[in-house]
């Protein structure tokens, strides 16, 4: 007993000596859960605590222990535990620390007699967790769909945000379904359902939070197939084959790549709508993304068939092109799948038909061609009546070339062979209806000048043709000369001796465009083949133009007069001066005396200065100069001229004063005076005056004058 007490005494002494040193390790090594101590007898003790660090939340507890290392004996109930701040952290007699509020408290371990302090340690009281939550309350994981779909990460959050213990312990309710690691990552193990729970590290908050995990066996493959053809309006049920058989989700979704061609409902029933192709897709709803697909070809059933041609005529003796033909078969609808048919002839002695519907005439007669659709569900048949006839082999026209006048009618006749041809009717046509028209009987009406072809074609379709080339010409209906009356001059130069006539044939497209020229008196005038006239002698003659068209004999005529020309024309004056208002008579001498037309034409180069009438009377009108021209009126263009100068007359003289007083005996200046004068009008030709005195003894006039101050006046000196 004494030995035991001594041991305790020595142990407590060691603890007391080390108490100061223990405070630092407890605080500094907060991540450790035990501290080793040695007493003076070298007995080892451990101070332990039930946590990862030496701290407790304001709502939690932390169990402290003192353990004898050698035998593992817990002597926590044989010491005294004390808290330096019970309002922050309280400790019971068994070493259980209870957090009260955030802060720090000193925990002491004493001997039972209280005299020896084994250890002092400062413990932290931190903010406690009040609530917690997981990022998901339910998750579904897939096995067999890849790692991404077989795992999920949960996150754990606490309130308040400043709670000291933010971590949690993760637990799976069934690790055969799913397991969870320390970070909250969940991995699927097997199909089923379990709970993944997180428990706060805060001993004061023991409420776990959970997430329901459902693990499904994923679909790994879906196989679907459809029939080769789906008819429009019909349906086909497609059954999916899902692998593996134990896949958790057997439900699927259906899609069509082209709903206008084929639709699919939720049960996989596909309905064909229009001709075309579509892809049907079957998609797993387990989220694996696995799908299967198949191609569907939609075709239309044949509802009915018919021939484009209801009646066909074939010809024998007109070549292969007319004895054979291919019938055209139409189907309803046009895009029906079965476009072929089985063909038969009611009489193969008349006509045969091959598998493609091509007919071959055999002999004259009638037969019916029947086509039955290869679609077994089509109940209609197409029928065509065929007539085989003997063809026209030749057509001979009575005219192959014909010339006719416009407005005429030509009758063409056709001889059709052989005589036993089934259809000897012919069709008449013109290559240019604006030139010639032809009726059903071969009557041709000639409409306008030109050439065209009149074609006679066999109406039986044999293609036999005969042609008449028709040349339509126009008759001459009239002639028109460029001049009806012409005058030529002898003695006025070569230009006046001749002229050219032109003749226009009416209509302009008449076949005969040439005419023959003639003069009724070649001693007066001759005419060339091109219509040029030449004067020969003085007199009158008629020149005519006659068409070469033998059916038009009316000539076109021109009256030709040949005159002796005026050769010389001489005026009696060639330079004359007159005053405004005065008149001058000019006379002309015409040569030779034998000139046929001695008439004259008078002209003034400036009628505002001098005017002249038809008789050569010239009148001065204003100051200036003008040429008076006299021209022979016979067209010979012989002329003579006179230059006429027109001057202004003096109409008055105006003096600058009416009274002048002079003095004698007072010197020359008093006895001398000036009188100014002005001529009216200012442009009068004579600008001088003659002075006179009524009494020269009393008032003699000097013989000189000088200009007055006025530039327009003159003045003389009077003494």
Pull the structure tokens for residue 5: 């007490």
Q: How far apart are CA 36 and CA 41, in angstroms?
A: 14
Residue 435 and residue 454 in one domain: yes
User: Is 50 exceeded by the pLDDT of residue 15?
Assistant: no
Per the listing, tokens 């897939």 go with 142
Q: Torsion angle of alpha carbons 175, 176, 177, 179, nearest 10°?
A: 30
Query: Is 26 in a helix, a strand, or coil?
Result: helix
User: Is 80 exceeded by the pLDDT of residue 33?
Assistant: no
34-40 long-range contacts (CB < 8 A, ≥24 apart) are: 34/67, 36/69, 37/119, 38/14, 39/10, 39/11, 39/12, 39/13, 39/14, 39/15, 40/10, 40/11, 40/13, 40/14
Q: How far apart are CA 478 and CA 546, in angstroms?
A: 10
Q: Quick check: is 358 in a domain? A: yes
Q: Quick check: is 118 in a domain? A: yes
Q: How far apart are CA 323 and CA 321, in angstroms?
A: 6
DSSP-assigned beta bridge partners for residue 718: 673, 701
Q: Quick check: is 596 in a domain? A: yes
Give the count of domains, the chain.
8
Q: What is the pLDDT of residue 27?
A: 29
End position of a domain, from candidates 126, 155, 175: 126
End position of a domain, from candidates 390, 407, 427: 390
Q: How far apart are CA 263 and CA 373, in angstroms?
A: 29
Residue 212 and residue 135 in one domain: yes
User: Is 90 exceeded by the pLDDT of residue 684?
Assistant: no
Per residue in 91-134, pLDDT (tens digit) is 998 889 999 999 999 988 887 887 777 778 889 999 889 899 99
Pull the structure tokens for residue 626: 């003008």
Q: Quick check: is 661 in a domain? A: yes
Per residue in 221-264, pLDDT (tens digit) is 999 999 889 999 999 999 999 999 888 899 999 999 999 999 99
Answer yes or no: are the C-beta atoms of 382 and 329 closer than 8 Å.
Answer: yes
Beta strands in 376-511 (DSSP E): 381-390, 394-397, 401-405, 409-411, 414-417, 426-430, 436-438, 443-446, 450-458, 465-473, 478-481, 485-490, 498-500, 503-506
**Per-residue confidence band for 703, with pLDDT thresholds at 50, 70 and 90:** very low
pTM to 2 decimal places: 0.45
Q: What is the pLDDT of residue 700?
A: 52
DSSP-assigned beta bridge partners for residue 436: 446
Answer yes or no: are the C-beta atoms of 168 and 201 closer than 8 Å.
Answer: yes
Q: How far is CA 611 from the centre of its chain?
A: 76
Query: Is 192 in a helix, a strand, or coil?
Result: strand
Residue 48 and residue 120 in one domain: yes
Mean pLDDT value across residues 133-142: 94
Residue 122 and residue 45 in one domain: yes
Residue 660 and residue 693 in one domain: yes
Q: How far apart are CA 351 and CA 173, in angstroms?
A: 92
Residue 117 and residue 44 in one domain: yes
Q: Quick check: is 370 in a domain? A: yes
Mean pLDDT value across residues 324-348: 94
Per residue in 361-413, pLDDT (tens digit) is 999 999 999 999 999 999 899 999 999 999 999 999 999 999 999 989 999 99
Answer yes or no: are the C-beta atoms of 342 and 353 closer than 8 Å.
Answer: no
Tell me the helices (H) and strands (E) count for the chain, helix number first: 5, 68
End position of a domain, from candidates 414, 439, 473: 473
**Per-residue confidence band for 681, with pLDDT thresholds at 50, 70 and 90:** confident
Q: What is the pLDDT of residue 696?
A: 67
Residue 225 and residue 242 in one domain: yes
Residue 376 and residue 403 in one domain: no
Residue 383 and residue 454 in one domain: no
Q: Which domain holds residue 120?
A: 33-126
Q: What is the pLDDT of residue 204?
A: 85
Q: What is the pLDDT of residue 547?
A: 95
Answer yes or no: are the C-beta atoms of 60 and 92 closer than 8 Å.
Answer: no
Q: How far apart are CA 202 and CA 58, in angstroms?
A: 9
Mean pLDDT value across residues 164-192: 93
Residue 141 and residue 197 in one domain: yes
Mean pLDDT value across residues 435-442: 96
Q: Quick check: is 26 in a domain? A: no
What average pLDDT does the chain have? 87
Give the residue among 477, 402, 398, 399 at the shortest CA–CA distance from 436.
402
CA 185, 190, 192, 194 torsion-angle sign:
negative
Residue 141: CB atoms within 10 A of its CB come to 22
Burial of 493 (0-12, 13-18, 19+ CB in 10 A): exposed
User: Is 60 exceeded by the pLDDT of residue 18?
Assistant: no
Cα angle 126-127-130, degrees, rounded to a multiple of 5:
145
Beta strands in 374-449 (DSSP E): 381-390, 394-397, 401-405, 409-411, 414-417, 426-430, 436-438, 443-446
Q: What is the pLDDT of residue 345?
A: 96
Answer yes or no: are the C-beta atoms of 134 and 155 closer than 8 Å.
Answer: yes
DSSP character at residue 398: S
Q: What is the pLDDT of residue 52?
A: 66
Q: Which tops the pLDDT comparison, 679 or 328?
A: 328
Give the residue among 512, 509, 513, 514 at the shortest CA–CA distance from 450.
509
**Per-residue confidence band for 55, with pLDDT thresholds at 50, 70 and 90:** confident
Residue 162 and residue 174 in one domain: yes
Residues 45-77: b if buried by 16+ CB within 10 A, e if exposed: bbbbbebebbbbbbbbbbbbbbbeeeeeeeebe
Q: Quick check: is 451 in a domain? A: yes
Q: Quick check: is 15 in a domain? A: no
Residues of the chain above pLDDT 70, percent:
90
Q: What is the pLDDT of residue 493?
A: 86
Residue 505 and residue 590 in one domain: no
Residue 573: CB atoms within 10 A of its CB come to 14
Pull the structure tokens for residue 183: 């970070």
CATH number of residue 273's parent domain: 2.60.40.1080
**Per-residue confidence band for 54, with pLDDT thresholds at 50, 70 and 90:** confident
């Amino acid at each position: 007993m004494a030995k035991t007490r001594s041991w305790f005494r020595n142990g407590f002494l060691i603890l007391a000596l080390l108490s100061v040193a223990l405070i630092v390790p407890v605080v500094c090594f907060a991540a450790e859960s035990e501290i080793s101590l040695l007493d003076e007898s070298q007995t080892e003790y451990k101070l332990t605590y039930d946590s990862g660090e030496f701290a407790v939340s304001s709502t939690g507890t932390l169990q402290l222990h003192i353990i004898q290392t050698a035998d593992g004996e817990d002597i926590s109930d044989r010491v005294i535990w004390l808290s330096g701040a019970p309002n922050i952290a309280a400790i019971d007699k068994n070493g259980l620390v209870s957090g009260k509020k955030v802060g720090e408290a000193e925990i002491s371990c004493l001997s039972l007699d209280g005299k020896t302090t084994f250890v002092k340690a400062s413990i932290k009281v931190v903010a406690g967790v009040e609530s917690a939550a997981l990022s998901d309350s339910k998750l579904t994981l897939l096995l067999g769909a890849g790692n991404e779909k077989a795992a999920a990460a949960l996150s754990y959050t606490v309130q308040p945000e400043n709670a000291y213990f933010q971590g949690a312990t993760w637990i799976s309710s069934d690790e055969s379904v799913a397991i969870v690691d320390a970070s909250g990552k969940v991995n699927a193990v097997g199909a089923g359902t379990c709970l993944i729970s997180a428990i706060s590290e805060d001993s004061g908050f023991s409420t776990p939070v959970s997430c329901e995990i459902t693990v499904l066996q994923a679909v790994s493959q879906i196989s679907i197939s459809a029939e080769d053809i789906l008819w429009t309006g019909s349906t086909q049920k497609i059954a999916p084959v899902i692998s593996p058989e134990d896949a958790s989700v057997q439900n699927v979704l259906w899609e069509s790549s082209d709903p206008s061609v084929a639709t699919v409902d939720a049960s996989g029933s596909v309905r064909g709508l229009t001709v075309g192709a579509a892809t049907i897709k079957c998609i797993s709803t387990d989220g694996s993304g696995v799908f299967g697909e198949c191609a569907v070809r939609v075709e239309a059933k044949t509802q009915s068939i018919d021939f484009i041609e209801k009646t066909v005529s074939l010809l024998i003796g007109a070549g292969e092109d007319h004895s054979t033909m291919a019938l055209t078969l139409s189907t309803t609808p046009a895009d029906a799948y079965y476009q072929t048919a089985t063909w038969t002839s009611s009489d193969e002695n008349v006509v045969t038909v091959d598998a493609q519907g091509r007919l071959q005439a055999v002999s004259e007669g009638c037969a019916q061609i029947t086509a039955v659709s290869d679609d077994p569900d089509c109940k209609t048949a197409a029928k065509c009546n065929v007539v085989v006839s003997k063809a026209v082999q030749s057509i001979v026209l009575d005219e192959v070339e014909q010339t006719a006048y416009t407005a005429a009618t030509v009758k063409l006749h056709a001889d059709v062979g052989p005589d036993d041809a089934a259809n000897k009717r012919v069709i008449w046509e013109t290559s240019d209806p604006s030139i010639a028209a032809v009726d059903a009987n071969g009557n041709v009406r000639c409409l306008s000048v030109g050439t065209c072809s009149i074609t006679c074609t066999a109406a039986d379709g044999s293609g036999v043709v005969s042609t008449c080339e028709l040349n339509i010409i126009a008759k001459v209906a009239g002639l028109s000369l460029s001049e009806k009356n012409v005058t030529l001059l002898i003695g006025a130069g070569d230009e006046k001796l001749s002229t050219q006539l032109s003749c226009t044939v009416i209509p302009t497209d008449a076949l005969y465009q040439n005419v023959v020229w003639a003069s009724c008196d070649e001693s007066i005038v001759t005419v060339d083949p091109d219509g040029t006239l030449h004067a020969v002698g003085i007199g009158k003659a008629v020149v005519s133009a006659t068409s070469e068209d033998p059916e038009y004999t009316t000539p076109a005529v021109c009256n030709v007069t040949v005159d002796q020309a005026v050769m010389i024309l001489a005026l009696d004056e060639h330079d004359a001066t007159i005053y405004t208002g005065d008149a001058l008579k000019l006379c002309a001498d015409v040569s030779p005396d034998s000139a046929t037309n001695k008439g004259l034409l008078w002209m003034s180069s400036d009628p505002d200065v001098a005017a002249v009438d038809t008789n050569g009377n010239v009148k001065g009108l204003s100051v200036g100069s003008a040429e008076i021209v006299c021209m022979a009126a016979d067209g010979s263009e012989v002329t003579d001229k006179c230059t006429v100068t027109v001057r202004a007359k003096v109409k008055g003289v105006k003096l600058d004063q009416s009274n002048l007083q002079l003095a004698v005996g007072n010197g020359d200046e008093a006895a001398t005076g000036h009188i100014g004068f002005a001529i009216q009008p200012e442009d009068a030709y004579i600008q001088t005056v003659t002075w006179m005195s009524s009494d020269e003894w009393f008032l003699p006039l000097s013989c000189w004058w000088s200009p007055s101050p006025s530039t327009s006046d003159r003045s003389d000196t009077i003494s």
